[in-house]
Amino acid sequence: MRRDHRPYILKRLDLIFQKWYAERFLRPHFEGLGRGCTFMKPWHVEIFGGPVTLGSHATVIATPDRKVRLTVWSALGGEGRIEIGNCCLICPGVRISAATEIVIGESCMLAQGAFVTDSDWHGVYDRSLPIGHTIPVHIGDNVWIGDSAIVCKGVRIGENSIIGAGAVVVRDIPANAVAAGNPAAVVKYLDADRPVKTRADWLADPGALAAQFEEIDRHFMKDNTWLGWLRSLILPRRGD
């Protein structure tokens, strides 16, 4: 469909249900979950092992074919962990798999299908080893990891940097850099004279932002009806 045909009240009820579901069924799986987080389709978010912490005002988007998976599987007696900062965006299909430690700073964005791992997950010479060689991963504040990019063990990415779509990061990336390719390499640096607006800046007043989104929804859905919504499901037509 090209637009949302639901009556406005139905969308509001759906958002309330998703918030309730996340609180009831997801929160217990986190070691720590901040306030004001938004989960879209939270039943497609999978948390395995722990501890996993997620900061305040994060947005996590999952879909039936692109689940979000946050996994801690350690052979070190519970030493593995995942820590994700405030105001981060995690898109469909993101996988974060830790055997020792993955730390992601504030206001980071992980695009669809991105994969962050701190381990080989098998021994290079002994393929029966379930974990293999592992080195912590640290991603600085306000990093943007592009579609289907892979961040490998032992990598540090400096603040504000951008990792291009499909890149495979096997070595450190400095702050304020744009990196792309396989293996990823710096292709340019951000303009030091231009300020960078972060998701934390955008979410500085979450109440006002929520009111703005509500006003937009009311405007675009004001003519939606229950019969029109049902018709769009049963008898879709061109332009729906």
d(CA 167, CA 28): 34
- Token pair recorded at residue 59: 């947005």
Whether the Cβ atoms of residue 60 and residue 45 lie closer than 8 Å to each other: yes
CB atoms within 10 A of CB 173: 24
Query: ∠ CA(40), CA(44), CA(45), 5° rounding?
Result: 85
- Token pair recorded at residue 181: 């390719």
190: enclosing H helix or E strand: none
| Chain centroid, CA 192 distance in Å | 27
Taking alpha carbons only, the member of 60, 66, 96, 94 closest to residue 81 is 96
Q: Does the annotation count 138 as an active-site position?
A: no
- Token pair recorded at residue 37: 């987080």
Q: Which of 5, 29, 122, 138 is catalytic?
A: 122
Whether the Cβ atoms of residue 155 and residue 171 lie closer than 8 Å to each other: yes
d(CA 215, CA 236): 27
Whether the Cβ atoms of residue 57 and residue 87 lie closer than 8 Å to each other: yes
Active-site residue set: 122
